[in-house]
Amino acid sequence: MIDPVAAGLVVIYFIAMVGIGVWASKKIHNMSDYVVAGRSLDFWVFTLLMIGSVCSGMSLLGVSGLGYKFAWPTIWEQLAVPLSIAFCIIFFGTKMHLVAKKSGYLTVQDYLAHRFESQTALRGMSATAGIVVSMIYLAGQYTAISIVLMWLFGLPHWMALLIGAAIVTFYTVIGGLYAVAWTTLVQGLLLILGVLIMAPIVIMAAGGFTHINEVMAAVNPTNVDPWVTGAGAVFTPEYILSFVLLLTIGLACAPHVINNILCAKDVKYFKWAPLVAFGIYAVVMFLLKFSGFAGIVLVNDGLIQLPKVPNASDFIFVYGIQAAMPSMFLWGIFAVIVLAAVMSTTDRLMLTIGTYFSWDIYKKILKPDAPDKHVLLVSQISVFIAAAVTLLLAITPPDMLVWLIWAGIGIMFATFAVPMLAGLYWRRATREGALVSMALGLITSLVFGGISYFKLAKLPMHFSFYAFVIAVVAMIVVSLMTKQTSEKVLEETMTGWYIRK
Amino acid sequence: MAQTRRDDFSMKNRMWQCFFVSSERELNTSGSTTYMIRPGKNYIIIIFFDIFWKFFDYVICEHTTKYFDSMFGLPTITIVLVGGTFLLILIALLYWGLTFKESLHD
């Protein structure tokens, strides 16, 4: 039976999000308002948008799930993910924000098209790849929404998915990035406060931090090591290296994260935003991971029993909260926090997909003479279609939520990291090099991802690392074999081996 | 209108200035000189470096290694690697913030 108080909290949260969407919709007058919030985001809205875009279903459910399953060797995730925000702002944002403001970019594809002098081929390929990987990532987010609503209300999976998707889609479609940014501000604050309060309660319920580590070590001594070695080990040193690269650089160049750079009002925010974002998010991530560790003790002591589902470890934080706080009211608050985390990424992803299609494919390639209002409408319809398609993908949840999201990040890493970094820092990088690098990165990451997922061969490192190396080699070889980009464009796009001149 | 420029310190004082204070001399129109001494940005870096060094220093000592072995129920290597990496990242981001010149971007 649904508890009325818990249900009331979730309903109030949903109404608040819709209310922000309606308020934000009044600020939308053109594509710039819809896509980059008129480049008007203040420091805290921008910083929390960066955190909220990175903080996803993986952060609350997958991170603790992974901690429960693989213990301390997964702790590097807690450093790499917050670091990705700083990496994005420093290595991509500092230059790109300046160039974007001067040239009026609305998406990262505008930068790539300008830098590599490729208005259709590279723009089209990059936008298509961005849409595909964002949809993969989005499906994982929907699964997280479904987990929470199923647990709290006992709803069927499809109904939980439908409710969550309807709310996010509504406010994203009508409010664009204004709605996404301001809902993320609220969601981010809810998430931070919620984790700061709830995670310590779960940890204390399991006997405290030291006791948790002692129990973990007693269960398996390698549980408290920074990595594991030997046959069958997953988090080996070489795997962790690729894992850290994947999370730090892959998330930093993910379409739904890097596009936020274009929305900041002033470049001076990039001075302290990396440290602030890293500090806040690292604390949240560490607490979540420790909650996953606490789950090992709670299960070991028989205090909780995970459901018999393929992705059972993703339920560990949810069940930990349930064991630590036997109050439906608090469960309602917790549900709101998880929904806040998941929805803060979901809305950004949906908007990214809609923008990439309407601006980069429809406006810039298919119909360059389309009026702004027409493009805005196409963008809103695209967001709606993206929500519907990914909803269908999410109907059958994967074995483990976090693996699906990693697959998405891995493909982003292999596809976008090389053209972005080479474009910004290597003057010799050419259009052909970027095209081949991006295409090979995308294709080989899908191939290696398939090999890993279907266990066709044992890969010692994360599958995306191999694809990344291939993309790097392709970029270097093809660029050196082809004609260099004009000096005028290189100067306009501030290309060179520096972050700041 | 006041004119501000870097003080012309000796080499020894320059080192001192570099690490601990940022000193500027202000010449105003009346010809009198005002010295402004304030904590330099590098001072904060030094403090972080000091904490970081002491952290490793404790680990190097045998008796404290034993202490770390029982700390939080974790092995020393886990504490050193995870804690050390965390501190390094913090120092790097702090350095970025302190050396970021806004005027270059306007």
Whole-angstrom distance, CA of residue A147 vs CA of residue A318: 9
pLDDT in tens, A437-486: 999 999 999 899 889 888 898 899 999 999 999 999 999 999 999 999 99
Whole-angstrom distance, CA of residue A463 vs CA of residue A468: 9
In a domain, A499, yes or no: no
Whole-angstrom distance, CA of residue A305 vs CA of residue A299: 6
Cβ contact A378:A362 at 8 Å: yes
Q: Please indicate, yes or no, whether residues B11 and B52 belong to a single structural domain of this protein.
A: no
State whether B74 and A211 contact (CB < 8 Å): no
Cβ contact A232:A226 at 8 Å: no
Residue B63: pLDDT band with limits 50, 70, 90: very low
Q: Please indicate, yes or no, whether residues B19 and B52 belong to a single structural domain of this protein.
A: no
Instruction: DSSP letter for B51, please.
Output: H
Sequence-ordered list of residues with C-beta below 8 angstroms from that of B94, at least 6 positions apart, any chain = A275, B44, B45, B48
Residue A404: pLDDT band with limits 50, 70, 90: low
Q: Please indicate, yes or no, whether residues B54 and B25 belong to a single structural domain of this protein.
A: no
Instruction: DSSP letter for A486, please.
Output: P
Residue A405: pLDDT band with limits 50, 70, 90: low
Whole-angstrom distance, CA of residue A354 vs CA of residue B59: 52
State whether B78 and A212 contact (CB < 8 Å): no
**Domain total for chain A?**
1
Of A76, A79, A226, which is closest to B77 when you measure between CB atoms?
Answer: A226
State whether B73 and A224 contact (CB < 8 Å): yes
Question: Does A102 lie at the interface with B, CB-CB under 8 angstroms?
Answer: no
Q: Please indicate, yes or no, whether residues B58 and B88 belong to a single structural domain of this protein.
A: yes
Of A366, A432, A475, nearest to A128 by C-alpha is: A366
Predicted pLDDT at A2: 61
In a domain, A501, yes or no: no
Q: Please indicate, yes or no, whether residues B34 and B70 belong to a single structural domain of this protein.
A: no
Question: Does B73 lie at the interface with A, CB-CB under 8 angstroms?
Answer: yes
Of B72, B81, B97, which is closest to A213 when you measure between CB atoms?
Answer: B72
In a domain, A497, yes or no: no
Q: Please indicate, yes or no, whether residues B46 and B95 belong to a single structural domain of this protein.
A: yes
Sequence-ordered list of residues with C-beta below 8 angstroms from that of B60, at least 6 positions apart, any chain = none
Residue B27: its H or E element: strand B21-27
Q: Please indicate, yes or no, whether residues B75 and B46 belong to a single structural domain of this protein.
A: yes
pLDDT in tens, A47-58: 999 999 998 766
Asked if the model's pLDDT at residue A422 lies above 90, the reply is yes
pLDDT in tens, A307-353: 877 778 888 888 888 888 877 777 777 778 878 888 888 899 999 99
In a domain, B72, yes or no: yes
Predicted pLDDT at B18: 45
**Domain total for chain B?**
2
User: Between A and B, how many residue pairs show a Cβ–Cβ distance under 8 A?
Assistant: 68
Three-state secondary structure readout of A161-216:
HHHHHHHHHHHHHHHHHHHHHHHHHHHHHHHHHHHHHHHHHHHHHCCCHHHHHHHH
Whole-angstrom distance, CA of residue A391 vs CA of residue A490: 42
Mark which residues 422-461 of A lie under 8 Å from B by CB. Answer: none
Domain boundaries, position B50: 41-100
In a domain, B106, yes or no: no
Q: Please indicate, yes or no, whether residues B13 and B60 belong to a single structural domain of this protein.
A: no
Identity of the residue numbered A147: I
Question: Does A241 lie at the interface with B, CB-CB under 8 angstroms?
Answer: no
- The CATH number of whichever domain residue A458 belongs to comes to 1.20.1730.10
Alpha-carbon distance values, A180 to A27, A49, A188, A341, A405 (Å): 13, 8, 11, 12, 21
Q: What's the token pair of residue A57?
A: 């279903």
Q: Please indicate, yes or no, whether residues B35 and B46 belong to a single structural domain of this protein.
A: no
Mean pLDDT of the region A494-499: 93
State whether B90 and A214 contact (CB < 8 Å): no
Asked if the model's pLDDT at residue A152 lies above 80, the reply is no
- Lowest-confidence region among A39-53, A402-416, A426-440, B48-62: B48-62
Q: Please indicate, yes or no, whether residues B60 and B86 belong to a single structural domain of this protein.
A: yes
Cβ contact A189:A52 at 8 Å: no
Predicted pLDDT at A3: 72
Predicted pLDDT at B6: 43
Predicted pLDDT at B70: 60
Whole-angstrom distance, CA of residue A82 vs CA of residue A31: 30
DSSP assignments along A326-377, one per residue: --HHHHHHHHHHHHHHHHHHHHHHHHHHHHIIIIIIIIIII-TT--HHHHHH
Q: Please indicate, yes or no, whether residues B48 and B96 belong to a single structural domain of this protein.
A: yes
In a domain, B71, yes or no: yes
State whether B105 and A79 contact (CB < 8 Å): no
Mark which residues 203-222 of A lie under 8 Å from B by CB. Answer: 209-214, 216-217
Is the pTM for the entire model greater than 0.90?
A: no
Asked if the model's pLDDT at residue A212 lies above 80, the reply is yes
In a domain, A58, yes or no: yes
In a domain, B105, yes or no: no
pLDDT in tens, A434-443: 999 999 999 9
pLDDT in tens, A91-142: 999 999 999 999 999 999 999 999 999 999 999 999 998 998 888 788 777 7
Q: Please indicate, yes or no, whether residues B59 and B92 belong to a single structural domain of this protein.
A: yes
Over chain A, what is the mean pLDDT?
A: 89
Predicted pLDDT at B31: 55
Domain boundaries, position A171: 4-492
